[in-house]
Chain A
Amino acid sequence: MLHRRLTQFFILYLAGVGVLLLFKLALGLSDYVIPGPAEILRTAHAYGTAYAAAVLNTLGVAVLGHGLSILLAAAVAVLARLKAWVGGFIRTAAFNIQSYPIVAVAPILFILLGDGLVTRLLIASLICYFPLLLSFLGIFSEPVREIEHFYEATGRMTWRLQIKIRALENLQKLTTVLVGSATLAMVGTIVAEFIAATAGIGYSIRIALYQSDLAKILVALLLIGIGTSLWLVLLERLGAALQRKLEGP
């Protein structure tokens, strides 16, 4: 799983860098516009450690923001299944809000909260919250009749049991949703760092952008890819382990 995901990322990354170098050769661009392989390697050596720490910082905020979104989305989805009209209202509202680019409200958060951890966390959470909420609403409001019937008929159904049945019966779907939204959380954190941060890899990229230093940006992209791949594989493995535990020996 890890090997496959990292290989896929490296192929894409190297293809992207290769296209840039082809442009450089074809158009005769200077090292200032597109650095050569030696310059990229030199930058990686000089800034690799600092950028790796920045990626870890960003990843930490993304994981925290993702966790926050999962908790909030799960809580709202659980509440939404209490009454059909409440669920319908929340679903419609979430669907409409989701279609709005949340990243566009990031400057407002920056103005209200300033730069720093809280703003990064909020933007990361907001970006992955609505897709998570819509998926959770779908999963928690869809009855698993073949299992639930017995508990309903014998008067044993509780809301906790209902949620447990629906979550565990849709574990694979939930894992896919969580992995997909984890990428969104990472995107959200980096976007937040472009706008409102004094730390993280997004902030480092912004500095490199001001310096027009493409080599730094390419090194940052490489480390973001590796960090995100590791996180996604960890989530997939957790989901698979839980699935195996549920299926038993």
Chain B
Amino acid sequence: MELVGNDIAYRYPHAAADLFAGLDFRIRGPGFHALFGPSGVGKSTLARLISGMLPAHRGSIAAQGMQRVLYTYNLERLPGWVTLRRHFEETASAAGKPRLETLLDIFDIRPLVEARFPRLSLGQQNRANLVRYLLQEFDLLIMDESLANVDEATRQRIILQMKALFPERCFLYISHNVAEVARFCGEVLVLRGRPKQPQIVSVSGGDQREGAEPDPARLERAMLAILHAA
């Protein structure tokens, strides 16, 4: 399982300069990886390029063993005309349906399943949105600030349990939280604004698993490396 981007160039229509030029990156194997960088540097744009929502002007993105790529972002809404449970049941894939009850517990959504989306808090809305994506068939799920507005303890629990539940899948987690990506992610792609070259630097994260204690020294090294790269 590998995702490789080569010499990618992209410029928004009417923009004065390229957002990306000669951008290369590589993500290996299943697991939880991160895309990190300051606001406006192009994280969401790169995520859309990877998911095929935007066509790159130059270069290529090759996905080996990742045929089904899904992209989700934190502003998404579920339709307000049905309850969460009905929406989950109607949209879950055949393979995803048996996971529903487990995910409801992991994401602490069970008490809310008979509610409708607009009645939820922002954090609950983001958790509900992520649950429905985890009920789909996917090889790579790009999570663009998908756990925004969720408290830190719940976020950490969710990430650890997601890693345990989907050991064969690949996640690309977009976040501004350096401590979080350093602790939980395997590879951290640090995206830097132009004219810095290379535009992406890869840093190894702590990749903490469920039941394991974080290694403070390794975590500190990863955080420093990420901050230095950014």
Mask of A27-38 contacts with B, CB within 8 angstroms, 1/0: 000000000000
In the assembled complex, B79 has its CB within 8 A of some CB on chain A: yes
Interface size class, chain A: 10 to 19
Interface size class, chain B: 20 to 34
Mask of A154-165 contacts with B, CB within 8 angstroms, 1/0: 101000000001
Task: Please give the distance in Å from A96's CB to the nearest CB on chain B.
Answer: 29
* B116→A248 contact, CB < 8 A: yes
Residues in B89-138 with C-beta less than 8 Å from chain A: 91, 93, 116, 118-119, 129, 132-133, 136
Q: How far is the CA of A54 from the CA of B126 in the complex (A)?
A: 56
Point out which of A149, A154, A168 has the most chain B C-beta atoms below 10 A from its C-beta.
A154
Which residues on A sit within 8 Å (CB–CB) of B133? 150
In the assembled complex, B71 has its CB within 8 A of some CB on chain A: yes
* B91→A168 contact, CB < 8 A: no
* 15 A-B residue pairings within 8 Å (CB atoms): A146-B75, A146-B77, A149-B72, A149-B76, A150-B72, A150-B78, A150-B91, A150-B129, A150-B133, A153-B51, A153-B71, A156-B91, A246-B81, A248-B80, A248-B81
Residues in B54-87 with C-beta less than 8 Å from chain A: 70-73, 75-81, 83
| Chain A interface mostly | helix
Mask of A218-249 contacts with B, CB within 8 angstroms, 1/0: 00000000000000000000000000001110
Q: How far is the CA of A156 from the CA of B119 in the complex (A)?
A: 25
* B80→A246 contact, CB < 8 A: yes
In the assembled complex, A108 has its CB within 8 A of some CB on chain B: no
* A147→B81 contact, CB < 8 A: no
Nearest residue (CB) in A for B115 is: A248
